[in-house]
């Protein structure tokens, strides 16, 4: 197909579709715009409110756009040592990234063994893991706190990394994908004298890239959004993650919505930048690997 | 670690046969060792601990005291005044209410949005990213945002509706607010999976059905949906689990109120274990009872998923 100008495209479209289908498409676009507004309007209000003076926010005739723009809400939040939002953000990123890297490594190593190597107890171990996936995590919550405390990891970033490394889901997902890779690859490599680790690292792992991306996204989000666990294993404000740290935020700025929204925007902005930067890979990753789960 | 192991094999070439057979038997275990270590330490050991602790009276500071089945007796209202049982089961009921309403919402709404996104293909890529945006936010960020939007006097929603509804402080609005927030926040995740699922439906099937005279609704229910079986199963299980574990919304937005009406099971367990007095024994018993309820709701789904996995082998 030759490249068409937008105008030609539109003309082409109207020529090739019946009246009914054009109306239907138009309705769909309108509905989509409606849905988009539901997402957009609250976000706009948050940004707009964050740059308003508190008196204006509480005004009965409040409008979306601020009469006078101020950044004092941001300044006062950033100066408040009890709510170190940027530090929380840094903690969250640090913990989530270390967790995802370790988790992908551990889960893919195990999935490789479960899908391609033969060893005694393989079926039993896998079966054990699968069955434990069905057991709700809430049962482990309190005992895990005790284990973390006994390991002297309370208030340590590893308390929010290590427990998740025993997760079964990633192993399950990766094993399923690896089973789809022909064994002929391994055999060819073995004849060339490659060790199992080499086969894992140089052949299987690169082929698993789409699932690894998906799994990375899911585990990153799971860790990032974990709310209750960081609350349990941290005592001081400095070691908290963003999700847990902000739990008491509205309370400390009761009815000061300008400052509350400044906090919300500050907490959303960094992850939004990360998301926008990696959006292409992100959506592709979910689309390719997600369906296999 | 593993890299080192590989190098030693090379260095020991003269002893190849010996070294290799030994390595062949041991190596698989080295591959699974890290996973098994963490799985046992943070998956199996706590499970056993949880069961044991649930039979004790323990505040973590003083020595453990054997309590028999008393914790469970309290939870089922057989022992004591029944207040503990009442609090717990009310919270479980609230959680069930949330799960039963929110799970279908987070399946149907994202499916609708996914269909719209697929249909509007000129903006498909952009809208996928756009509708995913709320999902990347922390639950606490979303709660702060909605705390403002839903404020009785200066909130945006009352401003637009020209009402003065006490969204957060009165029933049934408090629950409506939680549903609103959870849906706004959660649509993106399942939506993206559904868009991917819809894109994977074989085009030939849809075309053949159109030729046979099937309309859009028939095509959706008889072709698109069955082709998305795996995605649907996965999202239903995950969304159900997520709904059962709901805590942030109740704790940050409504603080369990008004009058404890939005307290969830997770919240009661959390408060029992970490809210002032560490009543670990009772909290563990609660976790187990609640865990069993959750298990009952998700078991069927898991069985289907594992059966699906086994099908793959054959």
- Tokens (6 digits) for B279: 């009543």
- The model's confidence at residue B182, banded by pLDDT at 50, 70 and 90, is very high
Inform me whether the pLDDT recorded for B50 exceeds 80. yes
pLDDT tens-digit readout, B5-33: 444 445 444 445 556 677 778 888 999 99
d(CA B34, CA B86): 43
- The model's confidence at residue A293, banded by pLDDT at 50, 70 and 90, is very low
Instruction: Enumerate the residues of chain A whose CB falls inside 8 A of the CB of residue B60.
Output: 146
Chain-wide mean pLDDT for chain A?
86
pLDDT tens-digit readout, A183-213: 888 888 888 888 888 899 999 999 988 888 8
Domains, chain B, with CATH or none: 2-53 (no CATH), 81-313 (1.10.3720.10)
Percentage of chain A surpassing pLDDT 70?
96
Inform me whether the pLDDT recorded for B36 exceeds 50. yes
Percentage of chain B surpassing pLDDT 70?
92
Instruction: Enumerate the residues of chain B whose CB falls inside 8 A of the CB of residue A138.
Output: 245, 265-266, 269, 287, 290-291, 294
- Tokens (6 digits) for B57: 């009276």
d(CA A67, CA A62): 9
Percentage of chain A surpassing pLDDT 90?
26
Identify the three-state secondary structure at position B27. Answer: helix
d(CA B209, CA B18): 62
pLDDT, position A146? 94
Inform me whether the pLDDT recorded for B308 exceeds 50. yes
Chain-wide mean pLDDT for chain B?
85
The minimum CA-CA distance between A285 and chain B, rounded to whole Å, is 10
- The model's confidence at residue B201, banded by pLDDT at 50, 70 and 90, is confident
CB under 8 Å to B116, separation ≥6 — which residues? A28, A31, A32, A35, B127
Inform me whether the pLDDT recorded for B4 exceeds 50. no
Mean pLDDT of A176-183: 88
- Taking CA–CA distances from B200, the nearest residue in chain A reads A291
Inform me whether the pLDDT recorded for B313 exceeds 80. no
Q: Which tops the pLDDT comparison, A46 or A57?
A: A46
- Polymer length in residues for chain A: 293
pTM, entire model: 0.86
pLDDT, position B97? 92
pLDDT, position B32? 93
Phi-psi region of B128 (alpha: psi -120 to 50; beta: other; left: phi over 0): alpha
Judged by CB atoms closer than 8 Å, whether chains meet at B53 and A143 is answered as yes
- The model's confidence at residue B309, banded by pLDDT at 50, 70 and 90, is low
d(CA A157, CA A229): 12
Interface test with B, best of A54, A128, A141, A226 (most B CBs within 10 A): A141
Inform me whether the pLDDT recorded for A246 exceeds 60. yes
pLDDT, position B17? 56
pLDDT tens-digit readout, B90-124: 999 999 999 999 999 999 999 999 999 988 888 88
CA distance to A61, B11, B71, B146, B303, per residue, from B67 (Å): 61, 60, 7, 43, 35
- Largest alpha-carbon pair distance within chain B? 86
Inform me whether the pLDDT recorded for A269 exceeds 60. yes
pLDDT, position B314? 31
pLDDT, position B107? 94
Cβ burial of B128 (10 Å; 0-12, 13-18, 19+) is: buried
Instruction: Enumerate the residues of chain B whose CB falls inside 8 A of the CB of residue A247.
Output: 140, 248, 251-252
d(CA B258, CA B255): 8
Decide if A101 contacts B198 (C-beta within 8 A): no
- The model's confidence at residue B311, banded by pLDDT at 50, 70 and 90, is low
Inform me whether the pLDDT recorded for A273 exceeds 80. yes
Phi-psi region of A52 (alpha: psi -120 to 50; beta: other; left: phi over 0): beta
Judged by CB atoms closer than 8 Å, whether chains meet at B299 and A134 is answered as yes
DSSP string, B66-129: E-TTHHHHHHTTSSSSSHHHHHHHHHHHHHHHHHHHHHHHHHHHHHHHHHHHHH-GGGHHHHHH
Inform me whether the pLDDT recorded for A233 exceeds 90. yes
d(CA A111, CA A181): 13
Instruction: Nearest by CB to B284, from A49, A132, A142: name it.
Output: A142
d(CA B219, CA B196): 17
Inform me whether the pLDDT recorded for A166 exceeds 80. yes
Mean pLDDT of B128-134: 88
- ipTM score: 0.86
- The model's confidence at residue B54, banded by pLDDT at 50, 70 and 90, is very high
Inform me whether the pLDDT recorded for B286 exceeds 60. yes
Q: Which tops the pLDDT comparison, A214 or B311?
A: A214
The minimum CA-CA distance between A205 and chain B, rounded to whole Å, is 13
Judged by CB atoms closer than 8 Å, whether chains meet at B120 and A38 is answered as no
pLDDT, position A3? 63
- Tokens (6 digits) for A165: 């490394």
């Amino acid at each position: 197909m030759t490249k068409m100008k937008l105008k030609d495209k539109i003309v082409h479209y109207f020529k090739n579709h019946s009246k009914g289908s054009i109306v239907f498409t138009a309705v769909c676009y309108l509905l989509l715009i409606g849905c988009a507004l539901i997402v957009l309007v609250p976000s706009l209000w948050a940004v707009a409110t964050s740059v308003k003076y508190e008196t204006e926010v509480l005004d009965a005739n409040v409008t979306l756009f601020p009469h006078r723009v101020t950044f004092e809400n941001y300044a006062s939040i950033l100066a408040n040592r009890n709510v170190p939002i940027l530090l929380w953000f840094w903690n969250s990123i640090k913990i989530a990234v270390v967790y995802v890297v370790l988790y992908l490594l551990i889960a893919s190593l195990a999935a490789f063994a479960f899908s391609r190597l033969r060893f005694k107890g393989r079926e039993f171990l896998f079966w054990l893991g699968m069955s434990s996936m069905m057991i709700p995590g809430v049962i482990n919550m309190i005992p895990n706190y005790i284990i973390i405390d006994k390991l002297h990891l309370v208030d340590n970033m590893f308390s929010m990394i290590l427990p998740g490394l025993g997760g079964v889901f990633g192993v399950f997902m990766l094993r399923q994908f690896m089973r789809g890779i022909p064994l002929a690859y391994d055999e060819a490599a073995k004849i060339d004298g490659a060790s199992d680790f080499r086969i894992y690292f140089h052949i299987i792992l690169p082929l698993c890239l789409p699932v690894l991306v998906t799994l990375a996204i899911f585990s990153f989000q799971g860790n990032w959004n974990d709310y209750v666990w960081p609350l349990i294993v941290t005592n001081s404000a400095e070691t908290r993650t963003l999700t847990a740290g902000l739990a008491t935020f509205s309370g400390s700025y009761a009815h000061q919505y300008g400052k509350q929204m400044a906090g919300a925007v500050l907490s959303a902005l960094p992850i939004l930048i990360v998301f926008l930067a990696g959006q292409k890979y992100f959506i592709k990753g979910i689309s390719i690997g997600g369906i296999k789960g | 670690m593993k890299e080192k192991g590989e190098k030693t094999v090379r260095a020991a070439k003269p002893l190849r046969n010996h070294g290799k057979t030994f390595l062949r038997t041991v190596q698989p275990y080295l591959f699974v060792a890290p996973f098994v270590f963490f799985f046992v330490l943070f998956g199996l050991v706590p499970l056993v601990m949880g069961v044991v602790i649930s039979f004790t009276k323990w505040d973590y500071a003083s020595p453990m005291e054997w309590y028999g089945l008393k914790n469970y007796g309290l939870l089922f209202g057989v022992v004591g005044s029944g207040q503990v049982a009442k609090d717990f089961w009310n919270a479980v009921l609230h959680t069930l209410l949330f799960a039963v309403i929110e799970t279908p919402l987070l399946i149907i709404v994202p499916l609708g949005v996914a269909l719209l996104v697929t249909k509007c293909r000129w903006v498909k890529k952009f809208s996928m990213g756009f509708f995913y945006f709320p999902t990347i936010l922390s639950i606490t960020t979303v709660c702060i945002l909605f705390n403002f939007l839903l404020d009785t006097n200066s909130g945006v929603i009352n401003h637009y509706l020209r009402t003065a509804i006490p969204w957060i402080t009165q029933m049934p609005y408090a629950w409506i607010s939680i549903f609103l927030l959870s849906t706004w926040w959660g649509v993106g995740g399942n939506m993206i999976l559904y868009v991917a699922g819809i894109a994977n439906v074989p085009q030939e099937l849809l075309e053949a059905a159109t030729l046979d005279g099937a309309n859009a609704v028939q095509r959706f229910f008889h072709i698109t949906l069955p082709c998305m079986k795996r995605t649907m199963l996965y999202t239903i299980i995950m969304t159900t689990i997520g709904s059962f574990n709901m805590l942030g919304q109740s704790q940050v937005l409504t603080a369990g109120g008004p009058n404890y009406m939005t307290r969830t099971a997770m919240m009661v367990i959390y408060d029992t274990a970490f809210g002032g007095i560490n009543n670990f024994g009772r909290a563990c018993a609660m976790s187990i009872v609640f865990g069993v309820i959750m298990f009952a709701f998700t078991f069927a789904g898991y069985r289907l998923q594992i059966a699906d996995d086994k099908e793959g082998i054959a």
